[in-house]
Amino acid sequence: MNMTTDEKARLIELRDKLIGAGCDLPQEGSATRHEATRTWNGARVCKPALVARCGTALQVAAALRAARDVGLPVSVHNGGQDWAGRSLRDGSLVIDLSGMVALSIDSERREATIGGGVTAGQLNKAAGEQGLTAAISNDGAVGMAGLILGGGYGPLMTRIGLACDNLISAEVVLADGEVLICDADSNADLFWAVRGGGGNFGVLTSARVRLHELGPVLAGTIVFPWADVRAALGRFADLMLRAPLELSGAAVLAVGPGGKPVAVISLIWTGDRARGEAIIAGLEAAGTPLLAKVEPMPASELLALTNGKLPQGHGYEVATRWLGTLSPKVTDVMVSAFEARTSPLASIIIHHCHGAVTNIAPDATAFGMREPHFTALIYAAWMPAVGEAGPHRRWARELSNDLAPAALPGGYANLLPDDAAGQIAHAFGGNASRLSSLKTRFDPMGRLRAIPLPSAGVRHGR
Ligand SMILES: Cc1cc2nc3c(=O)[nH]c(=O)nc-3n(C[C@H](O)[C@H](O)[C@H](O)COP(=O)(O)OP(=O)(O)OC[C@H]3O[C@@H](n4cnc5c(N)ncnc54)[C@H](O)[C@@H]3O)c2cc1C
């Protein structure tokens, strides 16, 4: 990057202020720098101006103020799992939280206190050691803060809610450096906004989250050959549309270890064992499974079923749609698209949201999608060093476009790209205008840019 003398002087001033505040400025090429700029998507090459590892809320506050004083944009980096690379914006001061991993469990109160950089895997392990479980993601590398801020779907969401529904209180550093604690009683507007509105309102440096005590769960996967894909998806859809909160599930179209496409249905049952076994047997009967492995396990072991299935370092393009049903027409679109995949690494994941998530009013948190729905996640994936990315990216976008006529308005904001204006406009439902006015109140200069927010007042339509 070629810098003017003035820019160089401003960067030196910024460095001095950050060092004075006790932030660590990791050297290019060092292991800490690598961790502080870790990014899941191997196709994103990020060129931040400077990286500051912060260990406390006060250091975060100092970094925000120092960047403002020299006129540099900021990005907040945590687990680095945002596929669009929004935590490492080019030319910005990256405020890295990945070292803020303090974690304590109060098993009597069933609560955890987590630092802003704690990952889903770290929380799951610590809670599991106390016989408890948390609302986490399907991959252990996801930052809990990034997950909570965006909403947070997870393997047990139908039973215990989204990650954001389990937030009790949060310590948040506003863009101007003010440190606030928010919960249901104090700074309640901020508490509302950080439960689904993304990191647009402040930097979450610590959080208290609710934990749950669940007995052993019945969980596992049923792998169907491609010949059974339509029948398996049809049975999965029927099951999900009438599922009680004890049952959650996902369907995955992927290439199996033998190199052939397969349909994988995974189910988690948290109720009475005999009833769960009957439900699972009904699903197996949809075809002739190549493999069916469903067994009792502690809830904290669920993460192992999905962890690392979308490995870091591949090139990725992600698209997502909310769907009310999986009609045969929708299934046909997905099956045909998967047959025309551009890479054996591509996958389509569909999970269903009902139960505890949908028992909450849409205006209770910024995450406004509280109707039962399927979420289709389209993952184009490729080896970044091999060939062009264009065809893979087009594959994901075209499938998303093909699903649009049957889709619900909006989509999961945590995964929408910045240019998906039509979907972003509806991603928060009727919460759009409140989010816009809170953005103006908490970050009037628009310095914190996380997941995209809609413009004020958009409520209806696709
Ligand atoms: C393999 C994989 C599996 C996933 N599984 C799930 C899943 O099961 N459920 C689900 O809902 N989502 C899932 N996601 C999506 C994930 O929740 C989001 O991408 C999330 O934003 C990642 O957070 P992060 O901290 O890891 O990422 P980062 O890239 O570090 O941050 C993501 C965004 O959040 C902001 N941010 C992060 N931490 C803070 C903070 N403390 N304060 C303020 N802003 C912050 C960043 O600035 C950035 O805009 C998955 C993603 C991947 C790649």
Average pLDDT over residues 402-426: 96
CB of 117 closer than 6 A to ligand 1?
A: no
Q: pLDDT confidence of 208, banded at 50, 70, 90?
A: very high
pLDDT digits (tens, 9 = 90+) for 269-323: 999 999 999 999 999 999 999 999 999 999 999 999 999 999 999 999 999 999 9
For residues 432 and 103, give the distance between their C-alpha atoms in angstroms, rounded to a whole number: 33
CB of 145 closer than 6 A to ligand 1?
A: yes
In the chain, what is the straight-line distance between the N-terminal and C-terminal CA atoms, in Å? Answer: 41
CA of 85 to the centre of ligand 1 (A): 10
CB of 197 closer than 6 A to ligand 1?
A: no
CB of 369 closer than 6 A to ligand 1?
A: no
- Region of poorest pLDDT, from 153-157, 159-163, 354-358, 448-452: 448-452
pLDDT score of 46? 87
pTM, entire model: 0.96
pLDDT score of 457? 41
For a ligand 1 pocket test, name from 46, 82, 119 the mutation site with the most ligand atoms within 8 angstroms of its C-beta: 82
With a cut of 50, say whether residue 253 has pLDDT above it.
yes
- For strand 315-323 and strand 167-173, is the pairing parallel, antiparallel, or unpaired? unpaired
CB of 171 closer than 6 A to ligand 1?
A: no
pLDDT digits (tens, 9 = 90+) for 55-94: 999 999 999 999 999 999 999 999 999 999 999 999 999 9
Q: pLDDT confidence of 462, banded at 50, 70, 90?
A: very low
For residues 462 and 460, give the distance between their C-alpha atoms in angstroms, rounded to a whole number: 7
CA of 199 to the centre of ligand 1 (A): 10
CB of 166 closer than 6 A to ligand 1?
A: no
Q: Which residues, in sequence order, are bridge partners of residue 389? A: none
Average pLDDT over residues 131-160: 98
Q: Which two tokens stand for residue 394?
A: 């087009």
CB of 116 closer than 6 A to ligand 1?
A: yes
Q: pLDDT confidence of 3, banded at 50, 70, 90?
A: confident
pLDDT score of 1? 59
Percent of the chain with pLDDT over 70: 98
CB of 140 closer than 6 A to ligand 1?
A: no
The minimum-distance atom of ligand 1 relative to the CA of 318 is 53
Percent of the chain with pLDDT over 90: 94
Average pLDDT over all residues of the chain: 95
With a cut of 80, say whether residue 456 has pLDDT above it.
no
CA of 190 to the centre of ligand 1 (A): 19
pLDDT score of 385? 81
Backbone φ/ψ region at 254: left (φ over 0), alpha (ψ -120 to 50), beta: beta
CB of 144 closer than 6 A to ligand 1?
A: no
Query: Is there a contact between 195 and 167 (Cβ–Cβ < 8 Å)?
Result: yes
The minimum-distance atom of ligand 1 relative to the CA of 40 is 53
CB of 87 closer than 6 A to ligand 1?
A: yes
CB of 431 closer than 6 A to ligand 1?
A: no
pLDDT digits (tens, 9 = 90+) for 121-141: 999 999 999 999 999 999 999
CA of 287 to the centre of ligand 1 (A): 36
CA of 82 to the centre of ligand 1 (A): 5
Identify the residue whose tokens are 């304590």.
Answer: 104
b/e map 345-369, b = 16+ CB within 10 Å? bbbbbbbbbbbbbbebeeeebbbbb
CB of 192 closer than 6 A to ligand 1?
A: no
CA of 152 to the centre of ligand 1 (A): 9
pLDDT higher at 335 or 28: 335
With a cut of 60, say whether residue 458 has pLDDT above it.
no
For a ligand 1 pocket test, name from 78, 351, 379 the mutation site with the most ligand atoms within 8 angstroms of its C-beta: 78
The minimum-distance atom of ligand 1 relative to the CA of 98 is 30
The minimum-distance atom of ligand 1 relative to the CA of 146 is 23
Q: pLDDT confidence of 257, banded at 50, 70, 90?
A: very high
pLDDT digits (tens, 9 = 90+) for 329-379: 999 999 999 999 999 999 999 999 999 999 999 999 999 999 999 999 999
CA of 35 to the centre of ligand 1 (A): 15
CB of 452 closer than 6 A to ligand 1?
A: no
Q: pLDDT confidence of 461, banded at 50, 70, 90?
A: very low
pLDDT score of 459? 38
pLDDT score of 436? 96
pLDDT score of 397? 98
